[in-house]
Amino acid sequence: MRSTGELTADTSAWPLLRQEITEAKNKVEILPVIAGQNKEAIYQAQVTTHSFMGAVIYFTGGILIDNGWIRILGSGSARLKRSLPGFNKGKSFNEYGERPPFLLIADDAIGGFFAINGGEFGQDLGQIYYLAPDRLAWEALHVTYQQFLSFCFAGDLTKFYNGLRWITWQEDLKNLSADQGFNFYPFLWTEEGKDINKDSRSMVPIEELYIFLTENMKQRK
């Protein structure tokens, strides 16, 4: 595995990313890094700060979009405790340094997960997929990691989440931590759960939501 010094020696993508954030149309909050934790996370992830993913991991504790509706994983912070490599361990790989078939890079308040394809989803390596909680399937977004960030900063989130935001979602979001998600009943992928305004909601750890969704995906196959 490459050392932290090697991974951070090259020209960083952070200035470009920082500039894009200043021009964002959506609300973007950069979470502060915890001293030393960013170095540990970049070493575990084995990506350089020359890449946009490496820059997010090393220079942020994570990024919150639209008041925390979307949570982009970084190195972990007080308000988003999960780091990108830490959250993936045991899901997309077992040991640090392995080449994962996919990497979870972000998630949202309704238990949707964004991942970069490393071969798990097909031949389009480096492309972002979304595990949609209302369809219970990984769906190609046809964007790269950098393009995904740009979408989060300036894209039409209302259109993307059409039918998946209920009347009081903004108020309810204030009580949800960035390490939690809403669990709905009836489940969003069922016919009974299609109208999100009629579903009951509970706040659960995002870890539990990921396990719950992936287990249900296996059962449906």
Q: For Cα atoms 211, 213, 218, give the angle at the middle one, nearest 5 degrees.
A: 95
CA 90/CA 99 separation, integer angstroms:
13
The pLDDT score that the predictor gives to residue 9 is 81
| Per-residue pLDDT reduced to its tens digit, 43-72 | 999 999 999 999 999 999 999 999 999 999
The pLDDT score that the predictor gives to residue 167 is 97
Q: Are 62 and 53 in contact (CB under 8 A)?
A: no
| Per-residue pLDDT reduced to its tens digit, 5-52 | 999 988 899 999 999 999 999 999 999 999 999 999 999 999 999 999
Q: In total, how many domains does the chain have?
A: 1
- pTM attached to this predicted model: 0.97
CA 94/CA 115 separation, integer angstroms:
17
> DSSP 3-state assignment of 107?
strand
What stretch of H or E contains 144? Answer: strand 137-144
185 — pLDDT class (breaks 50, 70, 90): very high
The pLDDT score that the predictor gives to residue 220 is 80
Q: Residue 179: pLDDT above 80? A: yes
Q: For Cα atoms 153, 154, 159, give the angle at the middle one, nearest 5 degrees.
A: 115
Domain that holds residue 203: 4-158+167-220
β-pairing, 200-205 vs 180-185, is antiparallel
